[in-house]
Structure 1
C-alpha cells in the first residue's frame, strides 16, 4: 500500500505545474558512477539516504534528454535518485538499451544493499525501458 501511495505521489508531483516551483533545499551535486564499460553506461546519483528512485530518460532511443533537474528536485525531497544513461541506437541495437537498464538496476540493488527495491520512472523511450525492466 505504501508503495502504491508513493507511486501516486510521484505521478502527482510530475503532473502538478506548481510542484516544481515549491522551495526545497538544494541537494548536493550528483556523483557519477559507471555500471558498464561503454561511456554511456553511467549513473549520476543525487542524495544518499531516501527511498531509491531510478530515472530513465527518453529521446527515441537515439538521443539523451536531460532529467538532471527532476533528479535534483526529487533528491531535495528525500529520494536517493539514480539518473541512468544507456547506450543509444547509434551505439548498439536493441535489446542493448533494455539490457543496460537491467544492468543499471542490478548496480542500484547492489549499492542499496539489496534491501530496498527502487521505484523506476521513465519518460517516452525511458518509460518503455522502465516497463521492459519490470
Structure 2
C-alpha cells in the first residue's frame, strides 16, 4: 500500500526523522526490491538545486564483464548496458576506473577462490573543471 513516505511498509527500511527520504527492502513475488522514495522540502529555505550525485554500494553486476570478473568468457571489453545507460542518464562516472583503467581490484571471492569479481563501486557526478588524480579501493576488516 502506498500512502506517501510514511505509509510504506516493507521487510526492512531506513528513513530520516522528517519523512523526506525512505529506503525500503520489499519482497514481491519472491523477488527482493530496493525502493527509494524522496519527498522534497516544503520550505523554500530548505530547497537546494543540485545535480551532484554520489551513488555507491554492492551492485552485484560488473561494469565491464572482461575487466571486472575473473574467468570471464569475454575476450575484450564488454560494458554492462544497464549500468552504462544509468550512468549516461545521470551523468555519472566511476572515478576509480578513470584513474585505474586496466587494474583488476577483485573484492568478492568465491569461497574456494576459483572466481572473483569487482561489483562494489562508487559513481559520482562527472566533475566539471575537476580532475581526479588519486582514488583507492581497500578492504576493511571487521
Tell me the TM-score normalized by structure 1: 0.28
Radius of gyration: which is bigger? 2
Please state which structure has a larger fraction of its residues in helix.
Answer: 1
Please state which structure has a larger fraction of its residues in strand.
Answer: 2
Tell me the TM-score normalized by structure 2: 0.27
